[in-house]
Amino acid sequence: MRVLVLTGAGVSAESGIPTFRGKDGYWRNLDPARLATPEAFEKNPKLVWEWYRERRQRIRNAQPNAAHEAIANLAQHAHEFLLITQNVDDLHARAGLPKEKMVQIHGDIFLTRCSRCDFGFTERKHEHEHEHEQEQEEEEENVVPRCAKRDALMRPGVVWFGEQLPWNEVQRVEGYLGGGVCDLVIVAGTTATFGYIIDWAMRAAAPNGELIEVNPEETPLSQFATRLVREPAAIALPRLVDQLVAQPPEL
């Protein structure tokens, strides 16, 4: 089986990480223009950092759920596998999915990088890693980090509205899509707001691959899916993956 999985915030919802556009989603209560654009960062870097530090802490305290585990399990059984996730959390990795089988197309929230040069480092991700770093981060809560090489502010390593997707990661996606059509494409927990998500899903599945959407709600992708699973990901994906592993789709 050659498999592509695309995920969004809905997959981490059952780990307690808020989605963006859902009922209690971030964008219902907060204005993206004040928090997730280069202009917002230029205007109020402290506010932007506060929000990202809060989110980092919430993710550190969270655990991968059955959906993350099912995807890692599917990756082990597929001959070829790629996950494209829009999630900046590390829950897919913590569920055991190897880095080389995953593209974080909107970046990594634990990465801190310079806003002007390519200097960057990864923050402590888990509770058990170097406790002193947590103390340090708490102490520096009100401080906007500065680049050690350039006279510039450090920023979270995520993609903001109005920014380009990371070139290397897009190349990895294109490389995988160019390697052949997929027997199976699963799109889980995303409103598929961005055209490239729909485009990648459809290109990967065309002309005869199965395209399964796992989402309690309808999305712009639903009309193109060959199968709709209107259930939460942590319920649907373990069952779906068990079925697929027992009986892969026919070529």
Region from 55-63, 91-99, 173-181, 188-196 binding ligand OAD, contact rule CB under 6 A = 188-196
Query: Residue 112 or residue 191: which is nearer to ligand OAD going by CB?
Result: 191
The nearest distance, CB 20 to ligand OAD, in angstroms, is: 3
Query: Residue 31 or residue 140: which is nearer to ligand OAD going by CB?
Result: 31
**Among 15, 73, 104, 219, which residue interacts with ligand OAD (rule: CB under 6 A)?**
219
Is residue 114 a contact partner of residue 218, using CB atoms and an 8 Å limit? no
Establish if 229 lies at the interface with ligand OAD (CB under 6 A).
no
- Distances in Å between the Cα of 62 and the Cα atoms of 24, 152, 188 are 17, 32, 19
Query: Residue 235 or residue 245: which is nearer to ligand OAD going by CB?
Result: 235
Query: Residue 19 or residue 112: which is nearer to ligand OAD going by CB?
Result: 19
DSSP string of 11-74, one letter each residue: HHHTTT---SSSTT-HHHHS-HHHHSSHHHHHH-HHHHHHHHHHHHHHHHH----HHHHHHHHH
**Quick check: is 77 catalytic?**
no
154-173 b/e with 16+ CB inside 10 Å = b? bbbbbbbeeeeebeebeebb
- Contacting positions for ligand OAD (CB under 6 A): 8-10, 13-14, 19-22, 25, 36, 86, 106, 159, 188-191, 193, 214-217, 219, 232-233
